[in-house]
Amino acid sequence: MSGLGLFFAILGAALAALLAGAGSARGVGMAGQAAAGVVTDQPDMFGRVLILQLLPGTQGIYGLLIAFVAMNNLGIMSGNPEVSCSLLKGLAYLGACLPMAIVGYISAINQAKAAVASIALVSKRPDQFGKSMLFPAMVETYAIFALLISILALNGVGAI
């Protein structure tokens, strides 16, 4: 069945944007609630808690990035999709996108939990802002690793 390869490839790209984006949406939402709570009492904390709120947002960007790279490789962005993409190649694209999709989703939510705790920390100890940023950033490490593997894999898949 021709075109199935392209289908799986696009599925992979869609999943990367979808899952990582959904994770970030949930994460930024959770952190946003905590941040808004802090700002009711301490309006001058806005700048600091906003940064903490944004931290779980990067996974969505990474997901977008992977989706974009995949679609670009597939020629979708230039309006010239690679219909002849073999099933193997399509599945390889799907596989390449999965680290970012799955790790992106899970790490965004867990990073948000750390961000919520850090927002509570900053509300009580504003001087500890530097450290408070690190706890969520630790979680992000794994999203970055997933991003890296997805990018390297996508690069390799092009050669199939």
Partner 1 sequence: MAVLPMKKVLIVGLRKNRKQMLELLQRQGVMQIEIRKRSEDEQDPVFEQIDTTGIRTTFEKNIILANQSLQVLDAVKPPEASDGGLFAGRKKMSLTDYETNTRKRDRIMEMVYNIQTLDKKRNEIAAEIPKTQMQLEALAPWMDFKHPLDHSGTRSTKTFIGTLANDVPEETILAGIGREDVALDIISHSPEQTCIAVTCLNKDANEVEESLRHMSFARPAVSGDVPSKQQEALTVKLERLQSQDEELKNKIAAYADRREEIKFIADYFRLRSDKYEVIGGLEQTDRVFIVNGYLAARDAASLENLLTTRFDCVVEFSDPEADEEVPVALKNNWYSAPVEGVVASYAMPGKGEIDPTFLASIFYYFLFGMMLSDAAYGLIMIIGVAVILKKYRDSIEPGMRKTLTMFQYAGVGTLFWGIMFGAYFGDLPAVIIRTFINPSLPADFSLAIWCEPSVQPMTVLGFAFIVGIVHIFFGMGALAYTDIKQGKPLDALYDVGFWYLLLIGAIGILINTDMVGGMFGLHLNLPASLILFFEILALIGAVGIVLFGGRESSNWGLRIGKGLYALYGISSYLSDILSYSRLLALGLATGVISSVFNSMAAMVAKPPVIGPILFALIVVVGHVLNLAINALGAYVHTNRLEYVEFFGKFYNGGGKPFTPFEENTKHYRVSE
Residues that bind partner 1 (CB under 8 A): 47, 51, 54-55, 57-58, 61-62, 64-65, 68-69, 77, 128-131, 133-134, 137-138, 140-141, 144-145, 147-148, 151-152, 155
Q: How far is the CB of 152 from partner 1 (least distance, A)?
A: 6
Rounded-to-integer distance, Cα 79 and Cα 62, Å = 23
Contact assessment for residue 72 and residue 16, using Cβ atoms and an 8 Å cutoff: no
Q: How far is the CB of 141 from partner 1 (least distance, A)?
A: 7
- Taking the CA atoms of the chain, what radius of gyration do you get in angstroms? 19
Q: Which amino acid is at 39?
A: V
Rounded-to-integer distance, Cα 71 and Cα 96, Å = 12
> What is the residue whose two structure tokens read 């806005």?
46
